[in-house]
Every structure is written in structure tokens, then in C-alpha cells.
Amino acid sequence: MIDMSPSLVLVVTIAALFAAGVYLLLERSLTRVLVGVVLVGNGANLLFLVAGGAAGGPPITGVTPDRRMSDPLPQAMVLTAIVITLGLSAFLLAMAYRSWQLHRHDEVQDDVEDRRIAQLAAADERAMADTDTEGPAGTLDEDAQEARDETDDGAVPTPEASLSTREDEEPVDEGRGAR
Amino acid sequence: MTFDWLVPLPVVVPLSAAGLALALYRRPRLQPIVSVGALTIVLAAAVALLVVVDDKPLVVEIGGWRAPIGIDLVADRLSALMLTISSAVTLCVLLYSLAQERYDDEESAPISIFHPTYLVLTAGVANAFLSGDLFNIYVGFEMLLAASFVLITLGGTGERIRAGTIYVVVALLSSVLFLVALAVTYAAAGTVNLAQLALRLPEIDPGVRLLIQVLLLLAFAIKAAVFPLSAWLPDSYPTAPAPVTAVFAGLLTKVGVYAIIRTQTLLFPGGALDDVLMWLALATMVVGILGAVAQDDIKRLLSFTLVSHIGYMIFGIALSTDAGWSASIYYVAHHITVQTALFLVVGLVERVGGTTSLTRLGGLAKIAPLLAILFFVPAMNLAGIPPLSGFLGKMGLLQAGVQVGTPLAYTLVVGSVVTSLLTLYALVKAWNKAFWQPPEQDRPATTLPFGMVGPTATLIAVGLALTFAAGPLYGYTERAAESLAERTPYIDAVLPAGDPGDLVAEQDEHDEVAAPGSGGAP
């Protein structure tokens, strides 16, 4: 029977890394999210190491007897995973820096949709202003519009409404997140 | 004559070409030649594989280590089909983006990184499709994710960084989940080789097996954008450049779907979670398409239809019958081509109309009638108008659902029809607004660059070819589904002598000293 019981210290460390990592992942600031990703990633790596069973001798033929070796496969895989985590953390760091360059902060911003709905709810307006139902544009166009109107509920949005919708769609590049 | 040497090509060629393209960053004329050449070779290799593996799966053991310990690449019917479609799509998108580079002067600044990254992305996708090892699938995912991070934030504008942040954090989270799933799998079964897992998982505790299944499904469902885990997609995809969005929409989610098909069929036969998957499929379809109906931006609209149609594929997988899987595989092939084509067309619409907002677009049918046709064909294809491939795919799924005949399956059948109708509504609305409504202001007539129209038209033609070749193709997907259901062709190809760990385990029983994992050192 293979002895699979891991060291308790490792298990407690894994739990602590995951708990702290998840807490940080839920933060707003990208730097904290980055630290969270690193912690959770290391927790997962340790978990993988534990998954290989109890520690034994170095897995080199001729140095350690076959039956006393550690399992080298999880170690090889964890090494790969560590490299990947390193590379991706570096990318996240670069992105946090770029975000700081652009906005002078590194907070994760809201979904565009969420923002638009929140604004519309505040103004209590329709989500979309159909130009199908807008005012007169010309005789031919009017006829064409009437032909198509039957599918619509006929609510004619005010010019302000369509104007404000248009403003909302503008990509928000700067100054938006200075909360 | 053996064709084993074909199997690693789709991974090795783009990866080497990526290095070459990076080295040539000062020679913008040579880069395209390298990448187009590499992807053409990949396409040729994929087509050859498609024919060759119809007899039996090909297995290549990388580095000469025996299968369960070393890494193996396995090409069976499912992977070969995915590979062929994906390489055709990546090649078309590359040609499109080359033309776009040529016509857009203002965006040409940081473009030297585009080719290497794009090639790494293709290599990652191919690696995920071919790998016969869960950990290697993870590596494939990370390759394509790392590349996609760079592509989605290309240029580093404020909007792309905003969208990219969400995309990157969600992707990293799903990677960690996948890694945890791998660790649990290794602890439970002592291997991550798919074929060996298929032999060993039935022997372990059912509770642990369910845990592994749920963890893997969670990790893949985030990638595939299945409903409760799909909110990141419509927010992050539309901000990227058109060709990037197109290739993401076509391929990245489908890699997740492929991973779900592979693990559900090979590792977890018996369908313990099928009912849950059915409900998720229904929710994905309905919620996705309701999101699409409410959109005003055409790119966001298409992103929502993308989420919605992932539901069809999950539906087919969850049916757990040959017919369901076969239809699902066909649907994946159809959806990759059609969704990519639509995003490419929208790139052209944005070029001609100057915006992607449906309220502001208008009158494009007069300015660019060709564009109207280019949009109409894949749009109707996606909605599933007979006789196009979307109709055939949905038809197959509905038939498979009716064959199963449980109340839940019938609910899904009704849900699919409703979703299909709503897709038609959303796309016809987009078509009316973009092409027929009176334009806000007259735009100058612009000529469509042939370099961009050509690849788009080719991709649409591939979509139509899927319709005309539906008979043979359905035959192929049925054979693929049969061998998925049998499971033995795959396992026997990788492990012709059965589970080699069993021998070691028997020795272990006589020998009390610990030898963890799959029998220690090779």
C-alpha cells in the first residue's frame, strides 16, 4: 500500500494560502488581485506536490533505491505550473502598471453594461431608443417606417433620450474611475 | 507507411514559426510570409490527419518516454476534425488581419508582436486538441491564454485594458481551478494520462470521482462560457480588434467545449451530471439569447449569441448518446466557421459604417451591397434557416433530444427551438438596422478592400461547404461519436498492453516500502 498521508504543515499552509488568496481576489485593486492570484497559484502548486504522496529520496536511479524515491512526476508538473504562474503574474503586473499609467489607479472597473444599466435606471429610461420610431425624416422614409412599425410598441422616445443613450455608448477612457 | 510524424506538426510548426517571427520583428515584410507559411503547413497536416485517423487513432510519445509517464499526443477523429476546422479558420483570419494591417495606417504601431502571439495561440489550440494527457491540456490552455492576453490588450488603450483585466483575472482563476482538479486527480488515480485515467477512475471512490468531474467541468465551463460562468465573455471580447475577436469567438470557447466532450466521454461515462448539464445548457441558451436581443452594439450582440449557442453544444454532450455527441461535434464545426465569419463581417461593417452601434449604423445596403450579402448568409446560417449547416446541426440535436425522450430532453428541445427563433429575431433586427434603416448622415461610398473580403468570403464558403458536405461530415462525426462511446479505440491506441501501473501495483502488495504515484521512476 502506498503511503499517501501528507504532512499536516503542508495542508495547513495550503488552506491558509487559498483563504488569503481568495480574499484578495475579491478586492477591487488590481495589485491586490495579483497578490491573490499568486497566493492561490502557490496554494495549488503545493496541493499538487502533496498529491504525489509522502516525500522520499531524490528520484535519481543509482542514488536512491527504486522504492524509496519521491514521485518525480508531480514535481515536474509543479515546476511547469510555477513557470506559467510566474509568466502570467508578470503580465498582470504589467497590466496593473498600464492601468495606473492611464487612470492613475489600478482598480478593476465595472462592466460597461452594468454601468449603462445603472445610469439608465437612475434616469428611468428605456435601454434602447429605436430610430425606427423616431420623428419625421422624409415622406419616403416615413412610409417605410410605418410599414415596419407594427412590431414595435410605438413608444416614441424623446430626442433627449436618444441623445443620452448615445453619450453612454462612448468608450470611457479617462477620468471615469476616480472614485 | 506510418503517418505518426504528422501528429506533432500542428504544435511544433507554429511554435517554431513564432520564434522565427519574433526574431524577424524588424522585418515586417518577412513576418507575414513566415506565419502564413506555418499555418498553411498546419492546415495541410490537419487535413492529412483527418483522412489518416479515420482508420485508427495515431499516438506519438514525445521525448520517447512510454505513454502513461511521458507526454503523448493523440489524434483521433474528434481531434482531427477540430484541428482541421480550427486551422482553416485561423488561416483565414490571419489573411484578413494582414489585409487590415495593410489598409489601416494608424493601427500599425505595435503590430510586430501580433504574428508571434497569433502563432503561439494556434499552437496552444492545437496542443489542447491533440494532447492525450490532462496536464498537457492544461499547458495548451495556458499557451493559448497567455497569447490571448496579449492579443486582447493589443495597443493597451484604456478600454482594452479595462476589458482585458476582467478577462485575464477570470482566465487565471479558471487555470487555478484546473490545476486543483489536476492535483486531486493525481492524488486519487496516480496519473493524469487520459487513457490510463479512463481505466483507473471507475475503480476509485464514486464521491471522489464526482468531485474530480465537477472540478474539471467548472474549469472548462469558464473557458467555454457556460451560463453562470459566462458573464466575462460579452464584456471582454468586443473591445479587441475585429480579427482577434473573430478568432477568440470561433476557437477559444470551442477548446473548452472540446475538453468537456473529451473528459465527459472518456473519463466519466455513465453521465452522473447529465441532468445538471442539461439545465445549464438550457440556461445558457435562453439567458444568452435574451442578452443578445437587448443589445444595441452589434459586436456585443454577436458575443451574446456566441454564449447562447454554446448551450446547444452542451445540450448535445449532456444527452450522452451517440446521436447527441455526433450532432454536438457537427455543431461545433459549424459554429466555429459561422461565428468567426460573422465577426469578420462586423469588422468590415465597422470599417464601412464607422461604428458598431446599431442605432447609428444605417443604409449600408446602398453603400456596400456585397457586405449585405456577406452578413446575411452567415447570419441566417447561425439562426438555422434551412438548408444551411446551422439548420442541419440543430436538426441533429433536436432529433437526438427526441430520441432520448425524457421530459427534460423535451424541455431542452423546446428551448432550442425558442432560442433559434430569438437568434433569428436578433440577427434580422441587426440586419434591418445596419443595412436598411435610413442613415443618420450620409457616409462616403468606400470600397471594400479585397484582401479583407476574400478571407471572409472564403470562410462563409467553408460554412456553406459544411452544408453541401453534410452527408459525409455527419458520417464522420457519427463514427467519431461511436468511438467516443466505445472508448476502447482511444485507450487501446495509447496503452496497447493495458495499464502498466497494474504490474507495479501488484509488486507493491508484496513490498511494503512506499512507492507513490504510478510506479515511481520509469
- DSSP element (H, E) containing B61: strand B58-62
How many Å lie between the alpha carbon of A89 and the closest alpha carbon of chain B? 9
Test mutation, B135, B150, B176, chain A, max A CBs within 10 A = B176
Name the percent of chain B lying above pLDDT 70: 93
Residue of A nearest to B133 (CA): A77
Give the DSSP per-residue string, B328-391.
Answer: HHHHHHHHHHHHHHHHHHHHHHHHHHS--BTTT---HHHH-HHHHHHHHHHHHHHHT-TTSHHH
Whether residue A117 has pLDDT greater than 90: no
Least confident of B72-76, B234-238, B378-382: B234-238
Option in A44, A48, A173 nearest B159 (CB): A173
HSE-CB at B163 with a 13 A cutoff on CA atoms is 27
Handedness of CA A105, A107, A108, A110 (dihedral sign): negative
Residues in chain A with CB shorter than 8 Å from the CB of B161 are: 95, 98-99, 102
The answer to whether residue B461 scores a pLDDT higher than 70 is yes
How many angstroms separate the CA atoms of B383 and B484, rounded? Answer: 28
Do the chains contact at B515 and A2, CB–CB below 8 Å?
yes
Q: Does B56 have pLDDT greater than 70? A: yes
The predicted model gives B256-263 an average pLDDT of 93
Q: What is the pLDDT of residues B263-280, one digit of tens each?
A: 999 888 877 888 899 999
* Model pLDDT, residue A90: 92
Architecture in CATH of A8-103: Orthogonal Bundle (1.10)
Among the listed residues B157, B130, B125, the one whose alpha carbon sits nearest the alpha carbon of residue B142: B125
Top-confidence residue, A33 or A163: A33
Q: How confident is the model at residue A126, as a pLDDT?
A: 62
Does residue B519 sit within a domain? no
Q: Is B356 inside a domain boundary?
A: yes
Q: What's CA B132's distance to the chain center, in Å? A: 17
More confident residue, A55 or A177: A55
Q: Residue B36, Cα to own-chain centre: how many angstroms?
A: 21
Q: Is B297 helix (H, G, I), strand (E, B) or coil?
A: strand
Flag whether residue A175 sits within 8 Å of chain B, measured between CB atoms: no
Residue B22: inside a domain: no
| Domain contains B156 | no
Q: What is the pLDDT of residues B178-215, one digit of tens each?
A: 999 999 999 888 888 888 888 888 888 889 999 999 99
Question: pLDDT, tens digit, for every residue of A20-31?
Answer: 999 999 888 888
pLDDT of residue A4: 66
Q: Which residues of A touch B438 (CB under 8 A)?
A: 137-138, 141, 144
In a domain, residue B308? The reply is yes
For A61, phi then psi, to 5°, come to: -65, 135
Facing residue for B521 by CB, picked from A1, A51, A69: A69
Q: Judge contact between B345 and B456, C-beta under 8 A.
A: yes
Task: Give the pLDDT of residue B517.
Answer: 43
Output DSSP code: residue B57. -
In which domain, by residue range, is B309 found?
A: 273-484
Tens of pLDDT, residue by residue over A127-143, are 555 555 444 444 555 55
A65-80 average pLDDT score = 84
Length of chain B: 522
In chain B, the N- to C-terminal Cα span, in Å, equals 30
Residues of B in contact with A51 (CB under 8 A): 183-184, 186-187
B57 within domain boundaries: no
Residue B64: pLDDT band with limits 50, 70, 90: confident
pLDDT at B439: 76
Q: B168 and B149 in contact (C-beta within 8 Å)? A: yes
Task: Map grid coordinates 430532453 to a residue.
Answer: B409
pLDDT above 70 as % of chain A = 67
pLDDT (average), residues A72-100: 89
Looking at the structure of chain B, the number of domains it has is 1
Phi, then psi, of B496 in degrees rounded to 5 = -65, -25
Q: For residue B156, what pLDDT is reported?
A: 79
DSSP letter at B97 equals H
Q: Tell me the residues of chain A between 92 and 151 that have a Cβ less than 8 Å away from chain B.
A: 92, 95, 98-99, 102-103, 108-109, 111-113, 127-132, 137-138, 141, 144, 148
Mean pLDDT of chain B: 86
Q: How far apart are CA B461 and CA B60, in angstroms?
A: 34
- How would residue B371 be classed by pLDDT, with cut points 50, 70 and 90? confident
CA B130 to each of CA B7, B17, B60, B72, B473: distance values in angstroms, whole numbers, following the listed order? 8, 19, 10, 9, 20
Cβ partners under 8 Å of residue B273, min gap 6: B210, B213, B214, B217
Task: Flag whether pLDDT at A148 surpasses 50.
Answer: no
Residue B69, domain member (yes or no): no
- ipTM value greater than 0.85: no
- Is the pLDDT score of B67 beyond 90? no
What's the gap in Å between the CA of B211 and the closest CA on chain A? Answer: 15
**pLDDT above 70 for B140:** yes
The reply to whether B298 falls in a domain is yes
Sign, CA torsion B28/B33/B38/B42: positive
Supply the pLDDT for residue A132: 53
Q: Is A61 on the interface with B (CB under 8 A)?
A: yes
Mean pLDDT across B116-131: 93
What percent of chain B shows pLDDT beyond 90?
A: 41
* Lowest-confidence segment of B286-295, B400-409, B433-442 by average pLDDT: B433-442
Q: Which of B1, B86, B93 is nearest to B50 (CA)?
A: B86
For an interface test with A, give the residue of B143, B162, B166 to mutate (most A CBs within 10 A): B162
Question: Which residue from A minimizes the CA distance to B361?
Answer: A131
Backbone conformation region of residue B358, classed left if phi is above 0, alpha if psi is from -120 to 50, else beta: alpha
Domain spans in chain A, listed from the N-terminal domain onward:
8-103, 112-169
Question: Is pLDDT of B512 > 70?
Answer: no
- CB burial readout B4-19, b (16+ within 10 A) else e: eebbbbbbbbbbebbe
Confidence of residue B360 (pLDDT cuts 50, 70, 90): confident
The better pLDDT of the pair A6, B190 is held by B190
Q: Which amino acid is at A132?
A: D
Mutate to test the interface with A, among B437, B506, B509, B511 (most CBs of A within 10 A): B437
Whole-model pTM: value is 0.86
- The total number of residues shown for chain A amounts to 179
pLDDT at B8 over 80: yes
Percent of chain A with pLDDT over 90: 24
Report angle CA B515, B519, B522 to the nearest 5 degrees.
Answer: 120
Sole residue written with cell 495606473: A100
Give the nearest chain A residue to B233 (CA atoms).
A111
Residue A116 predicted with pLDDT over 60: yes
